[in-house]
Every structure is written in C-alpha cells, then in structure tokens.
Amino acid sequence: MPKLVPVNQTRVTFLSRSVNEGYARAVLAAFLTQLDPTVPQLADIKTAVSEAVTNCIVHAYPGTLGPVQMDITLFEGGVVRVVVRDRGVGIEDVARAMEPLYTTGDPEERAGLGFAVMQSFMDSVRVASRPGHGTRVTLVRQLERRA
C-alpha cells in the first residue's frame, strides 16, 4: 500500500455531553465538503462517527463528563481518517466489546451494535484501549470519485 499523503486535517475537543454527538457530525460534514462527497458517502461516515462519539459519551466517563477528541485527516486520493478518542475508563476486552449485541450499558437502552455499525460503513475500524487510560477508535474510508 502506498504511503498516504495528508492534504488537510483538523482537531476538535468537546465534553462527553450527548448534545455534542450532533456537533461532531456537523464538524465532520463541514470539513468533508472540500472532498465533495456524495450524500450516501457523507451519511455513512457521519453514522460511523456518531457511533464512535456516542460510545465515548455513554461508556467512557460513567457518572461524570470528560473530553472527547476527534481528529479528521484527508489524504490525497480521497481517503478520510477519523480518530475519536477519550481518556475514560477504557475497554477491558476490545475483542468482546466489538462483538455484535455486547454492551456494558443498560441492555434495555443499548443494542450493542455500535462497532458493527462502524464496520459496515467504513473500510477499516481499529480500536485501541487501555483500562483506566481511555480508548481510541480509528475509522478509515476511501471516497469514490463522482461520475
């Protein structure tokens, strides 16, 4: 695989408040406009980022608020990388957490499909976590050129 050359990037940090999930989606959409994505491409990436940010909001800081950081990098050729990270409680068993229907939240409120949704919309999903130190989710997608 050839080395990816970044052409633009941005970083935002916000508190793990539920209202900021919409903010993260808006920032992402505004930044991606320079690539002129199709509506379905944009919807896919926004959905995956929503899931990653929602995981931070729901799971990273139980009973309190903490920072969520989102880095967006655009590369030559239309590759998008979004990294969503927190400094929260971390994930004890990443492989198990990525299994469909697994949730540490209330099963009445949470379906446990966040990582599965991310994987369905992105070309690559990587999760790194250390208990007590936080979690980093890296999402990558190659945008197709418009006809």
Q: Which residues are catalytic?
A: 51, 55, 110
What is the CB neighbour count within 10 angstroms for residue 26? 11
Paired with 134 in beta bridges are: 130
Which candidate, 58, 57, 28, places its Cα nearest to that of 44?
Answer: 28
How many angstroms separate the CA atoms of 128 and 99, rounded? 15
- Positive or negative, the Cα torsion across 88, 94, 97, 100? positive
What is the CB neighbour count within 10 angstroms for residue 40? 10
How many angstroms separate the CA atoms of 13 and 115, rounded? 22
